[in-house]
Every structure is written in C-alpha cells, then in structure tokens.
Structure 1
C-alpha cells in the first residue's frame, strides 16, 4: 500500500501518534469535507436530504461488501445496542429450559439486551472468562438443545481476543440457536465473512475501524430470517417503497432487512459514504493485511522493550493489544506528554492499530510504555 497516500487523507495525524481507534477513528479528509459541505448547505437553507438518503444506501452496500453480504441483508441502525434490542425484542416468551448463552465479560451493548430476556423466562447463562477469555469450547459447554441465542464479540474490546466465529457458528447451528455477533472492534480491522462463519446477525457502529462517525451503524440479518423479524420502531424507511410511504393508510414493509432501518442520521450518513469509499479505494483486503502487519510490529516492539502483554495465537489476534501496568495514570501521563493517544480499559493500556499508523510511531509508543 502507498503509505504516503494513506497519510495524506489523515492530516490530523501529522503531530499525533494515534493508537486509539478502538475508541474512535481519526476523521479522514473526505468524511470531514462531507460534514463541512453538509453544514454549509444546511446553514444556507440548501441541504439536500435526498442526497443524504442516497449516501445511506451507498454506505449500506459498501458495508455489505466488507462482511461478505449483500445490501439487501443490511439494516441501517445507529448502534449495536439498537441492533441487539431489535433481535431481543423479536424473541418470544421462553418455554421450559430455553436459554441464552453470552460471555460474562461482554461489552454492555451486547450484554444488557440479553439479560433483560430473563423477564421473558429465559435462563441467561453468562459464561465465565478464563484468563480474560471465553473460548468457543466454553460457550459450547454452556449451550444445549434449549439454547436459543449465542452472543459474542468478534473481537473483545479490552483484551483484543478474536473469537473463532466459525466454531461458535457451528455450536449455535447444532443447538438451533440464533448467532449474534458484535463486530464493533472487528469490522474494518480483521477479516469477516458472515456466510462462511454461519452468522445470523452481525452488528457494528461505524465510528471505529470503518472510519465513520458516531450515529451510523449496521445490522446484518441472514437471509431467511428477515421474514421472521418485526420492526420495533418502524418508520417510513421500513416500507417497501419508502419515498411513496410518507403517509397512511396502508403499511407495506420492505421484504429486505431495510424493514428494520432506523430513520437515517443524514450528516453521519454522508460522512460514512465518504469514509467507506476510502476503504474501498485501497481495498479492504489490503487494509486488513496492513493491519495484521502493524500488530505484528507492535508485538515485536513491546517484546524488544521487555513489556509484558497477553499474546494470542495468530488466529485469535486482532488489532488491539492491552498492556497491564502497575501505574496506569503515570504511563498515560507519559504518553499524553508525547502526544500519543491510547486508552485505559480494566486498568490496562489499550493500544489499537489501524492502517493509517506508521511503524516508527508504534515503536515510539512501545518505548514510552517501557519508560524510555
């Protein structure tokens, strides 16, 4: 990849070492321009909402390409919690022995909606983590013939552990359960293929590795399940022909996953259209290859500095590495002083690479964590 071409799209990185994409990405120039243009046209009374709606459709299609799906399989939603809420709300009252299986250390957006299903009679089985990790095997031991849903993060937001989605998909299929994946730390960061891995639902927000902004997200629904789902907050975008469905008296829902759409956030949609086009321009395969190379460089740099961290086998490796330190506040102060942006999660320094990072930046961050 042309690294100089990449960096030219992220001028804000000139004086900043940004290893915090797991929290929020750095805004790329095309997305920033889309926002500025929208603001200018809005303030002049010339904002074109139809253009924004088309941007949402373009973004739907580009996201589908990244996960191996089609646009018809994708609903546009604002967040993972919205997506999980839609799926949870579509689960009927439980019969005797029916249960939900979810790791106990899941992020709240992929945890709270399932816990609430206790009110419908489900036994929510929270699987304990062993050394911070819940494996496919552990989920398999918790699942049985009464399991109706298994929910996991494709990449854990604290540890960076990358789940074996294919193995979990087989477990879900064997139980007759729905398989829900939170891909917030995976989409745009590591390879995803919903068809290969037997995923029923996959949800993500766009403001991390997809280069978008807060307020846009996506929900994949496996073809064949769409007809079983009812929209929870249906608006005009849920219609078969949205632009002909502003008023009643009839309601004809879309036959595709768009029937689950939330009303589109116009400014974020314009930014997403521009941001996802950046990933398409470079090629998602090339982006993911560079991400993997940068993480290997980060591991090597930390090892060279004698910094301890949890290293996973390659198949479980993501773009996130968390480093336990004795004094997180002191380390964070040292990093901020050098304009290195990272985050603290569970008392650990969390570093997250993306394709716009440079090897020398990563080396310097490792040195600073080591105290040099």
Structure 2
C-alpha cells in the first residue's frame, strides 16, 4: 500500500522508470501545484511573497527534522558550493602547519572552495582513496593537530560509497578540526544524525533526494559555532527581524543560522515546502527504510544476472549503484528505448533509486543491463 500511495504523488512516472535522482528528482504533484499556483498569481499581479517566505521557514524546519537538527541551526542557501564558500570565508588566515583534509575525488562543490584556501596559507591534503572510498583511517592518517577542517561527502555521487560519518567525526574531534559534510546525495536518501556524528556543518541542495527544485539548499551550522560565524554578503534576510530591516542605518543580525541566509528563491521555496511535506506525511524513517529495501532489491537483481557493479561493502551502501558494463553506450540506448532514465558517471552506469521506484522496475532494469 505504501508504494501505491507514494506513486499517486508522482504521476509523471506512469510510463517511465526513473533512476536518476542523484542528478535531479522527479517533480511531485504537490510541488507542481505550488509552481502552477505561483505562476498564475504572479502573472495576475497577485503573487504574495510573504507566503513564500513563510513556506521557506517551514522548509527550513522540515530539513532540520530530516538531519536531526533544529530550525535555528539551518541557513537557506542556493547550493552546496555556496555553503562551502561561507564556511571557507570564515576560516582565518592560516599559521604555519595548518591544513585542510579532503578526498581528491570529491565533487567540485565540496573541493574547489577548499582549494582556494591555499591562498590563505592552508596546506590542502587531498587523499587518493585506496579502495571504494576514503576511510576514516585514511582521514586519520592525513589529519594532525594542525588540521582545521575535514570535508567529506556523506555519499559519493560517482559510485554511491557512504562514508562512516561517526568515525570521521571522531577523527575531526581528535584533531580539533571543523567537520564539513556534503549531504547532497544523502539527505532524504539515507539516515543522517548531525549530532550523533559530531558534524559541524552539513550542506545539501534541495533538488535531489529531498524532492525539491533547483535553487533551494540548506546549510546546517552547529549551534555552538553560530555566535562567532559571520555571513558573506548579508542582506535583509540575515537580520534578526527581516521584515523590519529593509533599510539602514542599523544592522542587527539574527542570532540563529538565518544570519547566513541568502535572499530566498520564492517559487522554489513554495515547491520545496510542498515536497518536503511528503516526508512528514509518510514518516522519514519509513521512507528511508523503503530506500534501503529498494537498493538491496536492485543489487540482488543485478547479482542474480551475473552483473558486476562497484564492490561496496554493506556498511557503505547507499541508494546509488554504479554498474560496470562493456558497452555503456549500448546500455544507455536500450534504456532510452525502454523509457529508463539513468546517468553515466566515471565510465559506469549510475542507478539511483528512491522511494518512488517500484520493485518490478528494478528487476526490469537489471534485465536490460544483462541482456541486449
């Protein structure tokens, strides 16, 4: 019954097998309705921006629930790179021996902002993964008492490797380093607990597993850091009372993470609020459990057909499966003919399941990969 109830919210999937959520999710009916209503009101001169602002606040709170935080620890930003840029901008000029540790195969949004810190004197220690992904032990070897930040993706966008955030968090704590997590492929897909993992900062865009659209993203900042954390390019949204702070001369910044907000993208905020409500409607735990079940179903279907996929241990599995094939182009052509949507990453077929997928769809995809 759960699958049927979920599918009613995604009518666009009736004739499509969609396994590309790691790039962008399929728009849900509530988000589409929010956009349509917004466009109608906008073109009639009746758009209410204050309603959109309130929906942004609701979305802030819903995201906080998903990662185990509070709304006051969440800033609304447009992207992970913007979030990382804010954190990087708050790092002071390095003294001799200070470093940043990051995997060399990180997605650019969680890599380029840290590389720029070389200009501020930091040594950037880029780790080449020895196996399926960079382990906590490898981070521990690279980090020392001079390490000021460790950055990692909770889930790799290339092969789906899920990092052991608890263990890496302990490495960061032992080094006295900030711990930054790119959760773009994890938030809404796998369980996250920023408090339990000792995360200082966590960022995610809204247009992947969170079911939102491009233009909305979130940055978690551990409450203990907020007082000393400064916004980059603050505007009226960064104020303690935004609606009373359109003009100078005074600047009274918010005591919460909203001091780091950028101006809200109103249409995406309306859609994000409508989409995130699906997590409340069905329960985040139940939806994440379904994700785990679907991921296992796909891996089992591939294994049953003798198909090779990226060998990731059970402790590091996610909703992304990376499949090695002899002729990726031919497989993608079969997918197009069968209305299957997936991606190519690092020379492999990348399949990203989400709770709106059906078990029989995964069996069909495994068959298409194995049999021309």
For residues 301 and 361 of structure 1, what CA distance do their matches in structure 2 show? 11
Deviation at 1:191, TM superposition (A): 0.2
Alignment pair present for 1:282 and 2:282: yes
Residue aligning to 2:219: 219
Secondary structure of 2:224's aligned partner: coil
Q: Pairwise mapping of residues 114-193 of structure 1 onto structure 2 (< 5 A)?
A: 114-193=114-193
SS at match of 1:225: helix
* 1:321 equivalent in structure 2: 321
| Partner in structure 2 of residue 203 of structure 1 | 203
Q: What is residue 25 of structure 2 aligned with on the other side? A: 25
> Please, which runs of 5 or more residues in structure 2 have no aligned partner?
none
For residues 180-215 of structure 1, give each alpha carbon's deviation from its aligned partner in whole angstroms, at most 9, with x where no partner exists: 000000000000000000000000000000000000
Give CA-to-partner distance per residue, 1:90-146, whole Å, 9 cap, x none: 101100000000000000000000000000000000001123411111111000000
Find the counterpart in structure 2 of residue 257 from structure 1. 257
Task: Provide the residue aligned with 2:73 in structure 1.
Answer: 73
Secondary structure in structure 2 of the residue aligned to 1:355: coil
Q: CA deviation at 1:249?
A: 0.5
- Residue 311 of structure 1 is matched in structure 2 by 311
SS in 2 for 1:124: strand
For residues 264 and 38 of structure 1, the distance between their equivalents in structure 2, rounded to whole angstroms, comes to 15
Deviation at 1:28, TM superposition (A): 0.3
DSSP-derived class of the 1:149 partner = strand
* Paired residues for 1:346-361 under 5 Å: 346-361=346-361
Secondary structure, counterpart of 1:130 in structure 2: coil
Bigger mean CA offset, 184-193 vs 325-334: 325-334
Structure 1 vs Structure 2 CA RMSD: 0.7
Quote how far apart the aligned CAs of 1:280 are: 1.0
Shift of residue 314, structure 1, vs aligned partner: 2.4
> Could you state the TM-score of these two structures normalised by the residue count of structure 2?
0.99
For 1:232-243, list aligned pairs within 5 A: 232-243=232-243
In structure 1, distance between residues paired with 2:128 and 2:328 = 26
CA distance in 2, matches of 1:201, 1:236: 23
SS of 1:246's partner is: coil
The answer on whether the counterparts of 2:132 and 2:311 sit within 8 Å (CA) in structure 1 is: no
CA separation in 2, counterparts of 1:313 and 1:96?
39
Distance 1:277 1:255 in 2: 27
SS of 1:271 mapped into structure 2: helix
Q: Distance in 2 between matches of 1:345 and 1:2?
A: 31
Which string of whole-angstrom CA distances, capped at 9 and with x for unpartnered residues, describes residues 3-41 of structure 1?
A: 111000000000000011000000000000000000000
Q: Is the 8 A contact 2:133 2:163 kept in 1?
A: no
CA contact (8 A) 2:132 2:312 kept: no
Shift of 1:311: 3.4
Alignment partners' CA distance in 2, 1:77 and 1:19: 26
Gaps spanning 5+ residues in structure 1: where? none
Give 1:328 shift.
1.2
Structure 2 residue aligned with 1:108: 108
CA distance in 1, matches of 2:357, 2:135: 30
| TM-score in terms of structure 1 length | 0.99
Residue 36 of structure 2 is matched in structure 1 by: 36
- Do the aligned residues in 1 keep the contact of 2:101 with 2:124 (CA within 8 Å)? yes
Residue 304 (structure 1) shift:
0.9
